[in-house]
Amino acid sequence: MKISGGNLFGLIKRFFKRVNAPYRLTVVNKETMEEALIIHLTKKSLYIFLSTILVILFILLTSLILFTPLRYYIPGGNINSVSRKQLIQLKKLSDSLEKINRVRETYILNLMEVANGNVSQLRDTVNLSEKEIVAALHNNLNKIDHAERYNYMKSLGKSTDSLIHNGVKDTIQKRTRFNKKN
């Protein structure tokens, strides 16, 4: 079927005549054969009525999803929730807090053991000479920041050499007392 200018106009005219043609919808009671409901319709009014119902239904369902907790069950539609990046940060934070808690629990348990007198003394199996002790003390003191060491010594009013000498003397005395006990 070819559509020409005059033919197209005729098609549109016939379409609108059919759309505006009146129809009668009748609901009949089967037992009494009485007409219970009579509705006069056209195709256009039926189309408008069904379209309106669909639009209202769409608006109701959309508002139900948007303004109730149902929105949290839609994948990817969770606008107000915590982002994945924040969830990862929170997971890392909770892991670090758990680790800190474990360290503190261990510390408290060890402290309780010491308070109860249940201290296990591990014996040192390496006997160090005086030279090795002095070298270790010098090495430890060299690792301290020089500015901090200077400020610390200044507040004590002592020189660094006297501290090293006293530290070595003290360590040697403790070692000899320990060896005498064992």
* pLDDT digit string (tens) for the chain, length 182 residues: 555 556 888 888 888 888 888 989 899 999 998 999 999 989 889 899 999 999 999 999 999 988 888 877 777 666 556 677 888 888 999 999 999 999 999 999 888 888 888 876 666 657 777 888 888 777 776 665 555 655 655 565 555 555 555 555 666 666 666 666 65
Locate 104 and state its tokens.
């503190």
Whole-model pTM?
0.38
| 37 Cα distance to chain centroid | 60
Start-to-end CA distance of the chain, whole Å, equals 118
Structure tokens at 174: 């403790």
What are the sequence ranges of the domains in the chain?
5-73, 82-121, 130-177
